Chain A
């Protein structure tokens, strides 16, 4: 975004920490993980900028990452949301044309005798075997419906994308996922009276059976059985969806967007909005991810052409294409591991994971500051979440998330000045290994006192409680891009 006579180019690094919010946890001394973590850099952003509490979609509405992301990016999910399947599949690399349907899919374990889904996630660590099984399913035929093409591609963890291409398909059908373990596998059913929906349900039910037939006899499962592991003899098909058609992000907000999101559903959602998905080697979208790699990719994208812009992902093709040569104005850095910690009920990992995110944000800030110091770019840092994932609940909930944004220049002051920031190591680091224990955490983990508030309000730390004192109050996620674009234009 170019601004005024001074020729300043304003760009924002937007860090979305999936599942960021939480509730007060007794074993953390009734603090939230954000309150318990030692996060001086996240606190510095809050101290240097503006703050508020954000209801991702609406007050009291627990939402998925897909609807929440749509809302935050300025697309009302009630208008645009058509199911998760298309996002997951596009993110997994499957090209989708109008009329194709897609599913968000899990490799799962079925008790064939009883028809009960004994485990909805055959294995969270499925990175080696998942792609092999997906290759076995990709291009499979449906005996009763030979006119349909089935494409399957591995996503992350236990997830894959499944696309069905062909005539007379409807996205308005239910899925096969019973949503809880130890329940009967469901049959897909039409959700309206149309012939297309009825026909699609039949196609999908045959697809589910054929997938299981192929998987049962696959050598990967024979090996897993011999090892005493859950076999992946089922793919749960849920969130049937069609590709949404929306005004591109750049047209809507006037910012050229890019995204680092190894989590396939987020990448697919980004692509649906016209956001370029950057290559970031080592960023995996799970606990093995290298946050530094994400920070470097976003920093390069936001500082191009000073630095080479990363390559971008193209669905349906194995290779990448060069990114935008002039770089990007809005760099979306998605972090999934914190949400995973919430789902896994890993309290201490959520705390320590947030500390790792804090470290990576400092690396990102350093890289951007080096660029800002030698160019006419002016950078902003913005951090928020897409929903709360309370770690003792293990799933998403409705509680609002903190939102914070500052100019990089003020952040540098808040962390002790340029020389302190430039001492930051840019060495990649893994997410911490944490042993969860049932013991209460009584110390404060060496948490430093938050810096004094020097920005737009009296808030000096990033957490759910402090954010309520922010100048932005409590607002819907649909307002967020308006806050960001106005701040970029603000001449303080």
Chain B
């Protein structure tokens, strides 16, 4: 329900955005009821694939400072300099489900409980995606179709990497299972805040022209008004301009909770469809966690 704190499940398909195709019907079905948009990232420094995985996840949790400190890109000024997610978001209880060892270390560093995805999946004795979905929902206090008063976690981030076989198909099945369990009228649907985030992973020069961030819309615009276009939200941090925005290959995001999110015009989760029809346009990836935390009542209102 809109007037109770949500519990968030974030499915993060790391590097999987380019592999979504029309057969992934559950992903598109989610997009068709969700609020869709792009999450912009900064330019990548020279890095290994493992470093990229951690860095981009860190952006999603607005923890890039922690990443810089942990990776030695920035010198530590003292002990306890890295804040946990719970410290930053009013005691938020969060878990990370991943098989990436690099991400496991980083997750622990920022105070996440880390669970192994492969172990979670192994608990299946029926349809694998149904069992995984049930297990993920159980972590959030949803059991037997009911919403328990107390949950282990307020939010669960599931990282599914590009090197894990059948990545997109797994996510598609998982989304299908979750949506089946969160039917209208159920206790799950009223409290579950579901986000699907798909990134492009490692990018090449070719991607610059294939997946460009273009806002505002260029179609149907009267050129006489071009001079009025203000600095875009995704290019700003507070009142200052961000100087390192990568204007291609943003993450794709679809967020859905019954009576809590907006439904835009998107019916297919693809770069092209989002460019033409999404309702959320582009925001910086590091503001994503702030939006999620607000829906969990873990981010206070600024002002009165």
Q: How far is the CB of A315 from chain B (nearest CB, A)?
A: 20
A393 to B299, CA, bound (A): 15
A63 within 8 A of B: yes
0 or 1 for each of A48-68: is its CB under 8 Å from B? (1 = yes): 001011010111111111111
Q: Are A398 and B294 in contact (CB-based, < 8 A)? A: yes
Contact A59 B287 (CB under 8 A): yes
B67 to chain A, nearest CB (A): 19
Q: Shortest Cβ distance from A177 into chain B, in angstroms?
A: 10
Mask for B209-222, Cβ within 8 A of A = 1, else 0?
Answer: 00000011101111
For residue B297, give the distance in angstroms from its CB to the closest CB of chain A.
10
Complex CA–CA separation, A370 to B284 (angstroms): 45
A68 and B216 in contact (CB under 8 A), knowing A23-B259, A457-B222?
A: no
Interface segment among B20-28, B117-125, B167-175, B275-283: the answer is B275-283
Across the interface, B304 reaches (CB within 8 A) one of A66, A455, A464, A482, namely A66
Q: Please measure, in the bound complex, the distance between the C-alpha atom of A238 and the C-alpha atom of B303, giving whole angstroms.
A: 11
Q: In the bound complex, do residue B291 and residue A60 qualify as a contact, i.e. CB atoms below 8 Å apart?
A: yes
B290:A52 contact, CB within 8 angstroms: no
What total of A-B pairs shows CB separation below 8 Å? 183
Contact indicator B281/A474 (Cβ below 8 Å) = yes
Give 16 new A-B contacts, CB below 8 A, not counting A59-B233, A63-B303, A471-B216.
A23-B259, A52-B216, A59-B283, A62-B300, A65-B303, A78-B238, A392-B259, A395-B301, A457-B220, A458-B217, A470-B217, A472-B216, A473-B230, A474-B216, A480-B230, A486-B227
Q: Would you give the 0/1 interface string for A15-58, flagging 1 where the beta carbon is closer than 8 Å to chain B?
A: 00000000111100010100000000000000000101101011
Given known contacts A24-B262, A392-B3, A458-B219, A60 and B303 CB-to-CB distance under 8 angstroms: no
Complex CA distance for A400 and B230, rounded to whole angstroms: 15
Q: Is the CB of B225 within 8 A of A464?
A: no
Q: A226 at interface (Cβ–Cβ under 8 A)?
A: no
Contact B287–A473 (Cβ < 8 Å): no
Interface of A is mostly: loop
How far does the alpha carbon of A345 sit from the alpha carbon of B2 in the complex, in Å?
A: 10
Chain A interface size, under 10 / 10 to 19 / 20 to 34 / 35 or more = 35 or more
Contact indicator B303/A398 (Cβ below 8 Å): no
Partner of B230, one of A30, A62, A104, A479: A479
Q: Are B3 and A464 in contact (CB under 8 A)?
A: no
Residues of B within 8 A of A67 (CB): 302-303
Give chain A nearest CB distance to B163 CB in angstroms. 31
Residues of A at under 8 Å CB distance from B?
Answer: 23-26, 30, 32, 50, 52-53, 55, 57-68, 76-78, 81, 83-84, 104, 238-239, 345, 390, 392-400, 453, 455-458, 464-465, 468-476, 478-480, 482-483, 486-487, 490, 492
User: How many Å lie between the Cα of A321 and that of B151 in the bound state?
Assistant: 60
How far apart are A245's CB and chain B's nearest CB, in angstroms? 19
Asked if A60 and B290 sit within 8 Å, CB to CB, the answer is: yes
Query: Which among A396, A476, A483 is the interface contact of B236 at CB below 8 angstroms?
Result: A476
> A476–B283 Cα gap in the complex (Å)?
11
Of A52, A455, A465, A474, the contact of B222 (CB 8 Å cutoff)? A455
B153 interface contact, C-beta 8 A = no
Contact check, B2 vs A390: say whether CB atoms are below 8 A apart.
Answer: yes
